[in-house]
Amino acid sequence: MPQQAALRFEVLYRDRVVACFKDRPASIDAMLRAAAARKPEGIALVLGEQRITYAELDRIAGNIAGNLIATGFRPGERIAMLLGNCLEFIFCALGAGRAGMIVVPLNTRQRAPEIDYVLQQCGASALVYDADCEANLPAPRAGLRRQWVVGDGRAASFADLMAAATPSPLPDLQPEDTAYLLYTSGTTGNPKGAMLTHASIIHSVLNFEHGYGLSDGDVTMLAVPASHVTGLVALILATVNVAGTLVIMPAFKAPEFLALAARERMTYTLMVPAMYNLCLLQPDFDKYDLSVWRIAGFGGAPMPEATIERLAQALPQLNLCNAYGSTETTSPATMFPPGSPVGKINSVGRPVTGAHIIVADDDGREVPRGQDGELLIAGAMVVPGYWDNPDATRNGFVGGYWRSGDIGRMDAEGYVYVVDRKKDMINRAGFKIYCTEVENVMSHHPAILESAVVGKPDPVLGERVHAFAYSPEGGDETAIRQYCAERLSDYKVPESITFLKEPLPRNANGKILKTELRKMMASS
């Protein structure tokens, strides 16, 4: 059962009164230092045959912080990271954070226009990137003073940043300081930088510790992107918090995941349901020794009942733990912790410690238990807003509550169920894709007069991206997909396109009838 922790009310961000963990680290760096002091020779990171102890991780973070300060960077400046799942991602995320810089993780699947927008919007002063991404970098912008590359590339080597540094005075990190900017897709097509603070992150990792019973004996598998809130908070930082061991997978492949999980004696991970499905589809699944695997967190999409049943049968010791959250809630807003009733497995659990969730109608009034409405979420884990975007902050938050845009309900025992999505969004194996973003790109193609994007059901990924394009002269699907691939992350590119020679169906108000398009797709 979940551990209990003492709470007290505190004022955060000037106008929010929220329940906070009374005993907690003041910052992410304090959390790292505590782990290194507690288990200096404990294995912090594993990648292939490389093993990094907590003492080494603490030393490398200190070197990076010292070199950044010596180079002239100051607390609050933004350093972007275009890195995949690698040791350097974690080194930089912790080292730059120790220097007080705000770390901005980018997804290596992003394309040059997407990267350029984020660098410009956050005003990045520095960039660390993987050499494999060099060809996709946008033209240098004013304000980007330094770049470092992991591997062989045009910029200075990241190894220089890790070299021994002359000790420098370190900043006094405050709980309300922004630690990371994670960019989320917006319904207008422009990403928004959610400001994850030390306070919001610390509360989330403590909820993972207490909710899942994590400890320094746990071995965590990082198989989702490190640049996403799940990878960064639920796996990397949650493991550092308990001085556990993080095993890094550069990319998820089911056979390699199972072999690595067995070899390293994995006890905890959090993935999207599609990844569990792919594991179960392996013909030799039963040959792997996964007997110490204790916690299987999942979120981002509903878990099929057949998958739940198969996992329960194959691994009876495994606790399947649903979770629901977002970048704006610094990962979990609800959790289905071990010991919860099996009959509630279709829920996303109950609000995490310190969270307050109400279900509201379109007028903002709370509805009775069991009725559907929009989920409004408050708590110390909710971010204060979006970077340099007051309009989005004003529209997205009210009275300290984040407007999730998700339709759900809460039962009499406080378990939350997510029943629909208010926002126009596709969920492809946990990757959230806003239709408007894809439609905006397609609208610039000269052969397309208008377009609409919908989710196409898929038994493994949940949904795939399908586009309808009004193109009187017909269209070249390969050319359109290539056009999109040059401007969008690969998972956002339409995987199939229906070309129409008539305008898209609309209602009396001129709104495109996506219900009609879905019917058309289902009948084709």
What end-to-end distance do the CA atoms of the chain give, in Å?
Answer: 49
Question: DSSP assignment of 432-483, as one string?
Answer: EEEHHHHHHHHTTSTT-SEEEEEEEEETTTEEEEEEEEE-TT---HHHHHHH
Q: Would you say how long the chain is, in residues?
A: 524
Per-residue pLDDT tens over the stretch 403-457: 999 889 999 999 999 886 666 778 898 887 878 789 889 988 999 988 999 999 9
Say if 375 falls within a structural domain. Answer: no
pLDDT of residue 187: 47
Hunting for tokens 């198969």 — which residue is that? 310
Per-residue pLDDT tens over the stretch 74-132: 999 999 999 999 999 999 999 999 999 999 999 999 999 999 999 999 999 999 999 99
What does residue 51 show for φ and ψ, rounded to 5 degrees? -135, 125
Say if 476 falls within a structural domain. Answer: yes
User: Percent of the chain at pLDDT above 70?
Assistant: 96
At residue 2 the predicted structure's pLDDT band, cuts being 50, 70 and 90, is very low
Per-range mean pLDDT, top range of 296-300, 409-413, 516-520: 409-413
Say if 482 falls within a structural domain. Answer: yes
Say if 512 falls within a structural domain. Answer: yes
Say if 381 falls within a structural domain. Answer: no
Tell me the average pLDDT across 333-358: 90
Contact 270, 323 (CB under 8 A): yes
Q: Is the pLDDT of residue 167 over 80?
A: yes
Say if 463 falls within a structural domain. Answer: yes
Q: Rounded mean pLDDT of the chain?
A: 93
Say if 508 falls within a structural domain. Answer: yes
Geometric angle at alpha carbon 162, from 160 and 168, rounded to 5°: 100
Per-residue pLDDT tens over the stretch 361-409: 989 999 999 999 999 999 999 999 999 999 999 999 999 999 999 889 9
Helix (H, G, I), strand (E, B) or coil at 321: strand
Query: Which CATH number goes with the domain that contains 462?
Result: 3.30.300.30
* Enclosing domain of residue 466: 425-523
Helix or strand holding residue 322 (H, E): strand 319-326
| Helix (DSSP H) and strand (DSSP E) numbers for the chain | 15, 28
Say if 339 falls within a structural domain. Answer: no
Domain count, the chain: 1
